[in-house]
Amino acid sequence: MQDAASTISAREAPGHSPGRAASRLRSIWRNIFPFIVVGVLWEIVAISGIFPARLFPTIETVGRTFFALTANGILPHHAIETLIRLLSGFALAGVFGVTIGILMGRSRLAEDIFLPLVSICAPIPGLAYTPLFLLWFGLGSFSSILLVGFVSAFPVIFNSWTGVKAVKEIWVRSAHSMGADDRRMFTHVILPGALPYILTGLRLGLAQAWRVLVAVEMLAAVPWGLGWLIFGARKFLNTDAMLAGIVVIALIGLLLEKLVFQKIENYTVVRWGMVAA
Amino acid sequence: MVPIAIDNVTLEYDTPAGKVTGVKDVSFDIGASEFVCIVGPSGCGKSTLLNVIAGFLAPAAGEIRIDGKTVKGHGMDRGVVFQDFAQLFPWRTALGNVSFGLEMKGIPKAERDRIAREQLRLVKLEKFVDSFPHHLSGGMQQRVAIARALAYDPSVLLMDEPFAALDAMTRDDMQSLLADVWRATRKTVIYVTHNVAEAVYLADRVIVMSAHPGTVQADIKIDLPRPRDPLSVEFVECQKQLMRHLGHKVSGNGVGH
């Protein structure tokens, strides 16, 4: 009993020690350092005049544009439109991807039917499907969402399928011996057992969704959206607006990762010791 | 709490080379509340036999009857404890793991929490009800597994080398704890092990199996008073007797283990 008690206290100890603040600062510094290096190099190039100032603005200019566009509501509007498409498409991918993946993991028949299809479609770049989707479903948000859902479903399917296959036989046996029927075997054992993989799949799916969405917004003639902002700004050589759009994409990605995925993981698979923190 | 009859059980494996007989014509009876250890060299099919009794494998011939009813698949009349620490559900706390079977039985939450706490107290883990398995040591995890298998009150407890992966000191503690738990619950226990001292310490009766194919080689009653003293002359004598049964077989047919 002693050993586990000390493990627990050892885990909690850093929370009360003064060393924690210092190590936090160090880790923040480690994260910021590369950005400072790139920022300094960027400024050197921008000020040196290798590119015309119009095409290679300084960080101050980008920052000013970023705040101006945020203040007048243009950037948030673009960002929200993009976010709605992203989340709608990703929700489709999540629901269908997890369902199909788990079905493939649970049923031989589903595996035989879906695996060849998924294997062939998955490696095709999402953009290759874009013209087809635009012709079938028209220009605009609807086809963008469908395409995002379709393309980002593949990593979700693959990982959910792998996750179900990776559920330990000994859990299934234990649950069987304790009287679990098929339904509860699924909800109480298979789902939580496959969760580390399913979360990985969703995370990869979200990255995939970003990639294809920003590109599709450039092609699908949507009136608002970060992809459209970046693409449209090219005509007027507004590189500062383009860069501001790219910054927003990075920020949203970071927020989703930190506030959604890491939170879910910390509360589930990390807390359960199924994945290292 | 109920008697078990193992009646001419034969089990075959499908291998690329064809059918291999794992267990052949094994028969023995187990009395109600009896603690039976199955001992034998690796490959004698003792774990396989336990899996047949648990209902995870179907015998090629013969049958197993628990309280007169023929075993068909797994059932809640049997609780199973495996060797692998990973048998616990990592996403459930100790309490959650122990209440799993009760949950499957449809017992209300307050009641199953009460029973699960009681079971954890029985294995001396009352302080760790809310710990997740990965925060528990191997010995503690196996105790949770025992509590979990007992919680829904099966009449038979099947244990497959549950302490084999523990260090020697923890194993001694666990054996004495299991002896206490058995005395308190009076379950019928079938316990598979390759550890002779463990068998003598725990069992009312030891079934010695030999390998290739697995058959019953001897059926020995351990008539020592409990709690048993592993250092007593009688205990060591029993161990020697068991060793002879196992050792004789080893030198007899030249199968080296």
CATH number of A180's domain: 1.10.3720.10
Instruction: Specify the pLDDT at position A4.
Output: 43
Same domain for A100 and A41, yes or no, is: no
Same domain for A109 and A184, yes or no, is: yes
pLDDT digits (tens, 9 = 90+) for B95-126: 999 999 999 999 999 999 999 999 999 888 99
Whether the pLDDT of residue A1 is over 50: the answer is no
Same domain for A7 and A104, yes or no, is: no
Same domain for A238 and A133, yes or no, is: yes
Residue A277 lies in a domain: no
Residue A167 lies in a domain: yes
B112 touches chain A (CB under 8 A): no
Q: Which one is predicted more confidently, B97 or B42? A: B97
Q: Which helix (H) or strand (E) holds B118?
A: helix B109-122
**B4-15 β-sheet, strand order:** B18-30, B4-15, B61-66, B69-70
Whether the pLDDT of residue A10 is over 50: the answer is no
Average the pLDDT over A74-95 and give the result.
93
Instruction: Quickly list H helices, B123-185.
Output: 138-151, 168-185
How close A204 gets to chain B, by Cα (Å)? 23
Which chain B positions have a beta carbon within 8 Å of A264's beta carbon?
none
Q: Which one is predicted more confidently, A19 or A196? A: A196
Which residues neighbour A155 within 8 Å (Cβ) at sequence distance 6 or greater? A97, A122, A201, A204, A205, A208
Average the pLDDT over A72-80 and give the result.
91
Residue A272 lies in a domain: no
Whether the pLDDT of residue A13 is over 60: the answer is no
SS3 B105: coil
Which residue in A3, A170, A177 is closest to B79 by CB distance?
A: A177
Which residue in A4, A174, A272 is closest to B90 by CB distance?
A: A272
Name the band, by pLDDT with cuts 50, 70 and 90, for residue B165. confident
Whether the pLDDT of residue A12 is over 70: the answer is no
The mean pLDDT value of chain A amounts to 88
A179 touches chain B (CB under 8 A): yes
Instruction: Specify the pLDDT at position A14.
Output: 45
pLDDT digits (tens, 9 = 90+) for A108-147: 999 999 999 999 988 898 889 988 998 999 888 898 999 9
Which residue in A4, A178, A181 is closest to B135 by CB distance?
A: A4
Under CATH, which number does the domain B1-77+158-170+181-257 receive? 3.40.50.300
Q: From CA A227, how far away is CA A239, in angstroms rounded?
A: 14
Average the pLDDT over A10-28 and give the result.
69
Closest residue in B to A276 (Cα–Cα):
B134
Residue A159: domain span: 59-267
Q: Which whole-number Å values give the CA distances from A232 to A27, A174, A248, B6, B192, in the listed order?
A: 38, 59, 16, 80, 73
Instruction: Specify the pLDDT at position A7.
Output: 44
Instruction: Specify the pLDDT at position B115.
Output: 93
Q: Which whole-number Å values give the CA distances from A170 to A181, A188, A190, A193, B81, in the listed order?
A: 16, 14, 12, 11, 10
Residue A63 lies in a domain: yes
B105 touches chain A (CB under 8 A): yes
Interface contact flag, B86 A168, Cβ < 8 Å: yes
Closest residue in B to A184 (Cα–Cα):
B104
Interface contact flag, B132 A273, Cβ < 8 Å: yes
Q: From CA A4, how far away is CA B98, in angstroms rounded?
A: 19
Same domain for A23 and A70, yes or no, is: no
Instruction: Specify the pLDDT at position A16.
Output: 52
ipTM above threshold 0.90: no
Number of domains in chain A: 2
Instruction: Specify the pLDDT at position A157.
Output: 96
Same domain for A193 and A235, yes or no, is: yes
Residue among A161, A149, A257 nearest A208 (CA): A149
Which residues of chain B does CATH 3.40.50.300 include? 1-77+158-170+181-257
Instruction: Specify the pLDDT at position A3.
Output: 44
Residue A82 lies in a domain: yes
Whether the pLDDT of residue B180 is over 50: the answer is yes
How close B245 gets to chain A, by Cα (Å)? 33
Instruction: Specify the pLDDT at position B122.
Output: 87
A276 touches chain B (CB under 8 A): no
Exposed (0-12), middle (13-18) or buried (19+): which is B241, by Cβ within 10 Å? middle
Interface contact flag, A4 B128, Cβ < 8 Å: yes
Residue A274 lies in a domain: no
Instruction: Specify the pLDDT at position A117.
Output: 93
Instruction: Specify the pLDDT at position B69.
Output: 85
Instruction: Specify the pLDDT at position B18.
Output: 81
Whether the pLDDT of residue B90 is over 50: the answer is yes
The mean pLDDT value of chain B amounts to 88
Instruction: Specify the pLDDT at position A17.
Output: 58
Which residue in A8, A176, A195 is closest to B135 by CB distance?
A: A8
Interface contact flag, B148 A7, Cβ < 8 Å: no
**Backbone region of residue A179 per phi and psi (left: phi > 0; alpha: psi in -120 to 50; beta: other values):** left
Which chain B positions have a beta carbon within 8 Å of A273's beta carbon?
90, 132-135
Which residue in A179, A189, A268 is closest to B105 by CB distance?
A: A179
Q: What percent of chain A has pLDDT over 70?
A: 93
Whether the pLDDT of residue B251 is over 80: the answer is no
Name the band, by pLDDT with cuts 50, 70 and 90, for residue B206. very high
Same domain for A11 and A126, yes or no, is: no
Query: What are the beta bridge partners of residue B64?
Result: B6
A177 touches chain B (CB under 8 A): yes
pLDDT digits (tens, 9 = 90+) for A199-251: 999 999 999 999 899 888 888 777 888 988 888 888 888 899 999 999 999 99
Same domain for A200 and A142, yes or no, is: yes
